[in-house]
Amino acid sequence: MTDQLLLGEGPVTERIHGDLPLVDAETAAAHVDADATVLTSGFGSVGYPKEIPLALARSIRDLQLTVVNSGNVGEEIDVDLIKAGAVERRFSYQSSRVARAATNEREVAFSDRNASSIGDEVQYGGMVDADVAVVEAVAVGEGWFIPSTSLGQVPAFVEAADELFVELNHCQPLELQALHDVYRPDAPPNRGPVPLTEPDGRIGESYVSFDPAKLVGVVETDREDSTYTFRDPTDDDLAIAANLRSFLTTEMERSPVFDDAVHLQFGVGSLGNALMGELQELDFGDRDVVYYGELIQDGLLDMLDTGGLECASATSMALTAEGQTRLFENIERYAEDIVLRPADVANHPGLIDQFGVVGVNSAIEVDIYGNVNSTHIGGRRMINGVGGSADYNRNSLVSVCALPSVHGEDVSRVVPMTFHVDHTEHDIDVFVTEQGVADVRGCSPVERAERIIEHCAHPDFAPKLRSYLNDVAEDAYHIPHDVPRAAKWHGY
């Protein structure tokens, strides 16, 4: 195929290659069945399609769509389309206020899956009948497109879907192609190992391939990503960062695994961004610092700029508008050190294991025995999806849960029992709050409780937690609990 040959000859310099069906967003939206399953690009709130979702939101048809994505998308989908009542069912990550309300009202049926595996679940696992993929691209040809600011599970979605719409976004720079490494595993059971041996290795292409017969339309746009906004680091963020640095310093001395290099991952959010930014204060000695995570936030660009970071692998550039401008103006320089991968590679359990990643993820709350709730307040009110946090919490060599010890002044984030568990007591090694570090490796549940209360709980709540532990520990149970009393803590 000519396009494929062209692709092999050097960077793509034109946005449209060949005779493609250019359509407007209304035409595209009208083509989508009212009860279709729509698989979209988008991860970390960037690289998602905008015009077709907006056109669907404007549609006067009675839509009952199933909308599937692999990570956070922007307001066009998670506000406008939801507000229009067009979404009946929704996978997987979400965090907008509107989507959250619709989910808690159960107007939208939400099913929350792990970022690493939702591609397989859609393509092979029987989760949905995949009707149409809608993806954002910076260039498109007959049988290929170049994704924009995120990859996520786009390759799997495109392979799974019967039909494809491409949103060609003129305000996303063509040079983004330099970041992408699109590797596609074969279908199970004849799927070989992912042949990646280094975090900055390249094992794929800069583009996503598709069966040209699937392409129904290309919609052009110049609508920008509704990027992340992060607050400035708070005193608590800085104290958590300092405690984390202190732990990492000890940890690097502990194990020869970290002699030459440290591989880190950080969860998304204001805290994650602050932690990335504050890493520069840590003396890594002669070690290479490598990021092997799912999201690159602004904090990492600082470290790349100062040479403190050897390279970064992720599935999305979850930057602020400012960070995005900074990236776009210097893509070629950043592309030397940044690789974007599909989420089934970026979050691959085996690869996280291979690189001996130290994963740092936040949570809504943790319980004294080390169970972690990252999605549902009080066990029932959804705040956001689990995203890829479980991929890293489960498969990192050292899993760190970092969070402030309190929410406001009245709510302890360390609780006797959490009534929704996203990460089990078998998964997390170390807890870090602004109060200190609880290293619970090798500890029994009651020992974990003692350390978490002593080192991580806020002084305003530690006595009450200690009293709970002392009282329940009078009974001979491995994980002593008084559930009704633990429930009262959450206002039940």
Q: Annotated active-site positions, please?
A: 294
Nearer to a second copy by Cβ, of 228 and 489: the residue is 489
Residue 136 to residue 48: CA distance in whole angstroms = 6
The least CB distance from residue 129 to a second copy, in Å, is 10
Whichever of 163 and 367 has its CB closer to a second copy, that residue is: 367
Residue with Cβ nearer a second copy (187 or 321):
187
Q: How far is the CB of 156 from a second copy (least distance, A)?
A: 13
* CA 65 – CA 106 distance, rounded (Å): 15
* CB 138 to a second copy: min, Å: 30
Please choose, from the candidates 445, 447, 448, the residue with its C-alpha nearest in 3D space to the C-alpha of residue 430. 448
Question: Shortest gap between Cβ of 377 and a second copy (angstroms)?
Answer: 9
Q: Which residues share a beta bridge with 415?
A: 367
214: which residues sit within 8 A by CB, 6+ positions away?
A: 133, 158, 161, 162, 163, 164
Q: How far apart are CA 323 and CA 411, in angstroms?
A: 33
Which CB sits closer to a second copy, 111 or 234? 111
Q: Which is nearer to a second copy, 110 or 230 (CB)?
A: 110
| Least separation in angstroms between CB 375 and a second copy | 9
Q: How far is the C-alpha of 140 from the C-alpha of 134, rounded, in Å?
A: 13
Query: CB of 372 within 8 A of CB of 428?
Result: yes
**Could you give the CA distance from residue 492 to residue 484 in angstroms, rounded to a whole number?**
8
Q: Name which of 178 and 314 has its Cβ closer to a second copy.
A: 314
Burial of 285 (0-12, 13-18, 19+ CB in 10 A): exposed
Cβ proximity to a second copy, 17 vs 423, nearer residue: 423
**In the chain, how long is the greatest CA-to-CA distance?**
76
**Is the peptide bond prior to 92 cis by the omega test (within 30 degrees of 0)?**
yes
Please state the φ and ψ torsions of residue 164, each to the nearest 5 degrees: -140, 130
| Min CB(286)–a second copy separation in Å | 15
Q: What is the 3-state secondary structure (H, E, C) of 34-87?
A: CCCEEEECCECCECCCCHHHHHHHHCCCCCCEEEECCCCCCHHHHHHHHHCCCE
For strands 311-314 and 338-340, give the pairing.
parallel
Q: How many CB atoms lie within 10 A of CB 21?
A: 13
Separation of alpha carbons 87 and 56, rounded Å? 10
CA 78 vs CA 71, 94, 116, 172: distances in Å: 11, 7, 21, 21
Is the Cβ–Cβ distance between 147 and 70 less than 8 Å?
no
What is the nearest approach in angstroms of a second copy to the Cβ of residue 290? 8
Shortest Cβ distance from residue 209 to a second copy (Å)?
Answer: 19
| Bridge partners (DSSP) listed for residue 398 | 358
Nearer to a second copy, 394 or 455 (CB): 394
